[in-house]
């Protein structure tokens, strides 16, 4: 991957978004979404600054560039826009975790074609990152989100990377009109789910008397899987302490097998309360091979390259033995 290409692409997206933001007096993220659309549609809808934008966009697509470079550049621009907007619900899955998820999915599926759903897809940074690392050519991808602005960015992101993703602007906890998938991935939204009527359609709607969004998304993910399909989620560590009456524990036992639980380094998070882990489950069916032993591990700090490489080798060996 060329760092210069990523920074050149970011510079084009950034300069264009600043120009459009000024011209139309709109937030940076909306201007970024318009920028992406003008580039992939090859049609600029800004009369006053058309010439400047044309000159900028002339250098965007060039030979040898990759979708992953576009994802990284777009990710930098989204991060800039989110910082400016200060909206607490706008979050992006960090790059290190996108790479980790992509690596795990490519270990699980190898060269097999597969279908993948992200029921809280946000900007599709995670979903497109996984698709970019897939070894199979043929990936059917689906994403849902309630946030219109993030979903607009997701559509733009996917189009710029020439990724075919079916997006649904809807609550990811309501019924999803798709066939069962091979994999469900999600950086789950954490908190209390406000829609009582929908919550009542879930078994996990009363954990300690509350309907927590993060538990409901796990149940929804398992529902959306084919038998023996995989659920790969970023979950809050506190989920296990919230499950005092072990409803969740028993639910998982009935429907799935825990393959791995990787506790991420604390340095990635603001504090202990915000800390997260990667959870990998396989939906049960009679023939599901039971993992001899789940992979339970604490991941080393991502800045310790040596330790991280050692950990990844151990993880790859574990997958090679299991699959």
Give the footprint of ligand SAM on residues 106-145 (CB under 6 A). Answer: 120, 122-123, 125-126, 144-145
Q: What distance separates the 2 farthest-apart alpha carbons in the chain? A: 65
Listed ranges 20-28, 84-92, 244-252, 263-271: which one lies at the site for ligand SAM (CB under 6 A): 84-92
Are residues 192 and 242 in contact, defined by beta-carbon separation less than 8 angstroms? Answer: no
Q: Distances from the Cα of 269 to the Cαs of 158, 224, 273, 274, in angstroms?
A: 27, 29, 9, 6
Tell me the backbone φ, ψ of residue 318, rounded to 5 degrees. -60, -45
**Closest distance to ligand SAM from the beta carbon of 186 (Å):** 7
Q: Which of 8, 52, 171, 206 binds ligand SAM (CB under 6 A)?
A: 171
**Closest distance to ligand SAM from the beta carbon of 120 (Å):** 3
Q: In 3D, which of 124, 132, 99, 119 has the Cα closest to residue 264? A: 99
**Closest distance to ligand SAM from the beta carbon of 306 (Å):** 28
Hey, what are 233's tokens? Answer: 């989620």
Cβ neighbours of residue 268 closer than 8 Å, sequence gap 6 or more: 94, 96, 97, 275, 276, 302
Q: Which residue is nearest to ligand SAM (CB)?
A: 122
* Residue 91 binding ligand SAM, by CB under 6 A: yes
Hey, what are 187's tokens? Answer: 């950086």
**Closest distance to ligand SAM from the beta carbon of 124 (Å):** 6
The interface mask with ligand SAM, positions 253-282, x = CB under 6 A, is: ------------------------------
Reported as type and span, the H/E element at residue 251 is: helix 247-255
Are residues 173 and 145 in contact, defined by beta-carbon separation less than 8 angstroms? Answer: no
* Residue 189 binding ligand SAM, by CB under 6 A: yes
Q: Which of 93, 156, 205, 277 binds ligand SAM (CB under 6 A)?
A: 93
Q: Which residues bind ligand SAM (CB under 6 A)?
A: 89, 91-93, 120, 122-123, 125-126, 144-147, 150, 171-173, 187, 189, 213
């Amino acid at each position: 991957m060329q760092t210069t290409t990523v920074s050149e692409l970011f510079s084009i997206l950034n300069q264009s978004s600043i120009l459009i933001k000024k011209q139309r007096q709109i937030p940076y993220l909306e201007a970024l979404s318009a920028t992406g659309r003008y580039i992939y549609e090859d049609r600029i809808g800004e009369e006053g600054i058309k010439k400047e934008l044309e000159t900028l966009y002339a250098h965007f697509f060039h030979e040898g560039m990759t979708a992953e470079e576009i994802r990284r550049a777009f990710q930098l621009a989204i991060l800039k826009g989110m910082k400016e907007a200060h909206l607490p619900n706008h979050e992006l899955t960090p790059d290190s975790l996108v790479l980790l998820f992509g690596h795990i999915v490519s270990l699980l599926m190898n060269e097999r074609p597969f279908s993948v759903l992200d029921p809280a897809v946000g900007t599709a940074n995670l979903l497109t990152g996984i698709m970019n690392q897939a070894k199979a050519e043929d990936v059917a991808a689906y994403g849902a989100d309630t946030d219109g602005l993030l979903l607009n960015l997701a559509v733009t992101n996917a189009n710029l990377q020439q990724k075919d993703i079916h997006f649904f602007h809807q609550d990811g906890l309501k019924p999803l009109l798709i066939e069962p998938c091979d994999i469900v991935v999600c950086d789950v939204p954490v908190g209390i789910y406000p829609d009582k009527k929908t919550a009542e359609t879930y078994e996990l709607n009363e954990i300690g008397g509350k309907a927590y969004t993060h538990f409901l998304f796990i149940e929804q993910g398992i529902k959306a899987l084919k038998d023996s399909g995989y659920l790969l989620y970023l979950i809050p560590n506190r989920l296990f302490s919230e499950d005092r009456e072990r409803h969740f524990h028993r639910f998982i036992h009935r429907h799935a097998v825990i393959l791995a639980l990787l506790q991420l380094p604390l340095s990635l998070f603001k504090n202990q309360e915000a800390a997260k882990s990667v959870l990998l489950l396989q939906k049960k069916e009679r023939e599901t091979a039971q993992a001899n032993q789940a992979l339970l591990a604490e991941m080393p700090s991502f800045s310790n390259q040596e330790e991280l490489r050692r950990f990844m080798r151990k993880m790859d060996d574990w997958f090679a033995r299991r699959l």
